[in-house]
Structure 1
């Protein structure tokens, strides 16, 4: 397996923030975009906002840490065409200095030999392929000198949804019922997918805990997690309406916090707080609310 050496020059450009403070969604990772034929992807793009001074080098520089692993589907099989990006270092404002494409072998194996330490994120993306609709993974890691991190056993799993909710004929705000009692309310025309278009369909699944990649999580026990496709769909203005019509197996009166994962940098953002009732979780929006459909984690306070 060929190693990818990561060397960032001092002039590497940062990803510019959008109005929500995250990466520029309209300049997202076209490495995850379809070319119009199902199952094909570019696979060579870095995060727009970087320049040609960002290098992927196999010639010079000292390897300070390594990260290796395998990425699979939920059955442990290789994926048709996974895309992996290594994003960082992430600065204090949450912006990754760059996102670099990493080769993934046919068996799902990959390795990174990093020459820059600090806070990074790993981002796994997959376009629809062979009639299958995938979500993704995005999580943070802290790299120290001499680290040799492995994500081989268990591997990183890219979840797959069983079906999609068609939004192509929707007009105005719609209520979308998803697995596990999750309900979203939004206007599809007020959304932006990684393909730079309004969402024409959306899907989600309750992800088995064995497939979670918590990275550097907030304090508390995770009760349930959802992952979405198209992975990283954002609301352009305001927030997605969010409700949970289920107790999640928790006792009435249990206090919970709901976090989203930001795909660009793998960071957690608090989007709601609530209390478990007799039949549902009563939620109150926190901060800017839910603005990105990648992962949602419900954490018991």
Structure 2
């Protein structure tokens, strides 16, 4: 089983609350240390890393990416568009359906053993019925090692999947991404055969930006209602197509955002030397 990673990055920042040890450079360094662990301990494992950069990124990060993988620049313009680009890479590059794919965002911090643990989980016969793996999930807490894997309701857009399953689900993941709002949560529930949108969420949507023409607002409401209704219909998957999502306990990575930081020695990991 090979490992493919699509590490999505952007040069800018947003207004989210961040811990004092946060930086995208620190997150990238932690990921490279985890990748080095795979290449050192599992030299027989084929690894491929695509750094999918939405627009320019700082030169120091780009240099580090070039040492560890293949930096590719796109002009997506949004988190959603770069995510959709990433979803199509397994099909366009012809990756083996038996391999594991990790989709990673650039504001996460990784344990050194994270990628080895993901490979172990995907190769464990006890997890043969699982196709999606969450290195980070708020519903799965705990700090003790070794890593255990448990059923999880939802996670973020940083997750791993068997390439064959992702190819089968690509259109569904696209549909979920176009439904607005927290599309990662929508994706997780829908893949598992669970209805995401109730009647209120089908009919009521966030107000458009001030000054938006009435016709455009009405068109947006109709589009979101139709898309969300389609997502609910697609959640009615036959049992053989309902996916199992497993989450790691303790978390193998954490979102570097105040209020969403998983238990773990993250400040110590952030202070580790660059790889």
TM-score, normalised to structure 2's length? 0.26
Higher strand share: 1
Higher helix share: 2
Q: Which has the higher contact order (CA 8 A, sep 6+)?
A: 2
